[in-house]
Amino acid sequence: MNPNHDPHDAQLDRNLRAAGRSISLPDAPTAEQAAGWKRAAPVAPASLGLSEGGTRRRVWRFAGVGMAVAASLAFGVISLWPTGHAPVEAKQIFASFTEKLSSAFRVSFENIVADGVHVDGQVIAVFPEPSGDDSADTTGTGVCAELHVRGDKSAEDFAGGDIDLRFALTPGHEWAYLRLNKLPREVLKEGGPVAAIIYGMTHDGLLLKLDGFLEGKLAGLGEHFDLARAFREANHEVRHAMKNVHTEIHSELKKTAECDASNPENEEAAQIARALQELLPKLFSGGATSEDLQTLGSILEQAAGKVTVTPMSDGTTVLEASEFKADEGDEDTEMIARLVLRIVYRPQVGVERAEVLNVGESNGRVRIELGNASLNDTMFDESRLIDGNRTRVLDLGELMKVFGPMIEQAIHEHEDSDDDDSGDDDDE
């Protein structure tokens, strides 16, 4: 039918025009996102012809193994090398990493299984820019987490358990959510009526609204909580903690290297350390060249049987290392051998993302994205979690208004009674 002679189509046309004016489409992917999808595909092997093999013994001692591989492999191997001759440079490198970590990050883990416990989820944090001013803008900042934990038959204390946990904290939206989909079998057997009550309260979801609880005055308790200020303080704490971690690891590694001064292996480590001293500042500042990345690949070959460095058409370079070998006697040899480390580097920006594949018993994935995490409004919208009248909602702020004075009185009475008791002791 000719569209010009179809009155129904003409009406449809007008309504679609109105819809187009009032409905926003979801965001389109950016070129960077589209590039990220392509990175998921296997990187072409030996694209720069790096050789395989090499000595692999000591790197694991430095890097550590286990669930912390995401952080320690991606950044530990390359930034925490025992640069005994140049602690200042090491600090600068780590400061760069800390800066990125503390502004925004996303850690996601998928299909991570350990001892029968399965975990999927993500944590996203966006902190305000560091500022000495307490009134600094905190718009767009916040922390949210989504975790799904379940236990299979082999999970000792959690067999059969299945829990959803979520929380979100951003100025204006603060809540925590728990849904107990299934109770662990042990709890079912031994928990009795208490377990039944807890299950009854949470199996359709329990939403704890924290707005009035955290923000402003905690009625009756006389405490004040400023979430925006808490974020700023958290930012400071993260930075401080990361610096402490760095100092401790650095000190430990330096000690290890000095203890083995007579060992010829140490000379090899020293050579690598010198190369890294030149390379790492460039890598984290985005100033590394393709030759530098090849050098980094060669260094990683100390730990990995196979390393590829692949320049991509969007300008990034993907460094992938696999076939890792563990130290002799390491219990995790098989798991380590399966791991694949992937680092994405962008010129002028630096390391953009690091991920470790084939983690744990079920070949899970851990990914760390630095500096470019963003928060989605839907993550903070607690209404999506409320399922009609089935989900229980507790407003802790309102509860505190009612029970706060009673709690305060109870605390004071308890303190007074402690004082009396101690006074009696003194008398005796």
Partner 1 sequence: MTSSILPQPVAALAEPVAEVQRPLHADVDREADFDRHATALYRFFLVRLANDRHAADDLMQQLCLQWRQGGRHVPGDELEFWLRRVARNALTARWRKNRRRPDQCTLADPALAAELAERMVREELPPGLLEQRETRQQLMLALTTLSTADQELIVSHYFQDRSFAEIGKALSLSERAVEGRLYRARQALRARLAHLEENEKEFRS
Q: What minimum distance in Å lies between the beta carbon of 185 and partner 1?
A: 17
What the block records as the tokens of 44 is 């072409």
Q: How far, in Å, CA of 279 to CA of 271, rounded?
A: 13
Interface positions with partner 1 (CB under 8 A): 3, 6, 8-9, 11-31, 33-44, 47, 106, 108, 110-111, 120, 122, 124, 148, 150, 162, 181, 310-314, 316, 374, 376-379, 381, 384-385, 387
Query: Which of 292/320 has CB closer to partner 1?
Result: 320
Q: What minimum distance in Å lies between the beta carbon of 16 and partner 1?
A: 5
Q: How far, in Å, CA of 61 to CA of 58, rounded?
A: 5
Query: Which of 21/428 has CB closer to partner 1?
Result: 21
Q: What minimum distance in Å lies between the beta carbon of 298 and partner 1?
A: 21
Query: Which of 90/126 has CB closer to partner 1?
Result: 126
Classify burial at 424, counting beta carbons within 10 Å of its beta carbon; exposed 0-12, middle 13-18, buried 19 or more: exposed
> What are the φ/ψ torsions at residue 326 (nearest 5 degrees)?
-90, 165
3-state class (DSSP) for residue 373: coil
Residue 359's CB is within 10 A of a number of other CB atoms, namely 25
Q: What minimum distance in Å lies between the beta carbon of 223 and partner 1?
A: 32
Q: Which of 54, 75, 51, 55 is nearest to 64 (CA)?
A: 75
Q: How far, in Å, CA of 144 to CA of 233, rounded?
A: 17
Q: Please report, for residues 31, 108, 335, the alpha-carbon distance to residue 319 in angstroms, rounded to integers and kept in the order given.
A: 20, 20, 20
3-state class (DSSP) for residue 411: helix
Classify burial at 191, counting beta carbons within 10 Å of its beta carbon; exposed 0-12, middle 13-18, buried 19 or more: middle
Query: Which of 139/376 has CB closer to partner 1?
Result: 376
Query: Which of 162/327 has CB closer to partner 1?
Result: 162
Query: Which of 42/329 has CB closer to partner 1?
Result: 42
Q: What minimum distance in Å lies between the beta carbon of 235 and partner 1?
A: 22
Query: Which of 110/226 has CB closer to partner 1?
Result: 110
Q: What minimum distance in Å lies between the beta carbon of 30 and partner 1?
A: 7
- H or E element at residue 114: strand 104-114
Q: Tell me the β-bridge partners of 105.
A: 125, 370
Q: Please report, for residues 95, 124, 126, 146, the alpha-carbon distance to residue 372 in angstroms, rounded to integers and kept in the order given.
A: 17, 10, 9, 19
Q: What minimum distance in Å lies between the beta carbon of 76 and partner 1?
A: 25
Q: What minimum distance in Å lies between the beta carbon of 140 and partner 1?
A: 15
What the block records as the tokens of 2 is 């000719």
Q: What minimum distance in Å lies between the beta carbon of 385 and partner 1?
A: 5
Q: What minimum distance in Å lies between the beta carbon of 3 and partner 1?
A: 4
Q: Tell me the β-bridge partners of 271.
A: none
3-state class (DSSP) for residue 127: coil
Query: Which of 33/409 has CB closer to partner 1?
Result: 33
Nearby residues of 153 by Cβ (< 8 Å), 6 or more positions away: 116, 159, 160
Q: How far, in Å, CA of 308 to CA of 47, rounded?
A: 6
What the block records as the tokens of 178 is 């728990």
Query: Which of 178/270 has CB closer to partner 1?
Result: 178
Query: Which of 47/139 has CB closer to partner 1?
Result: 47
Round the CA-based radius of gyration of the chain to a whole number and report it: 27
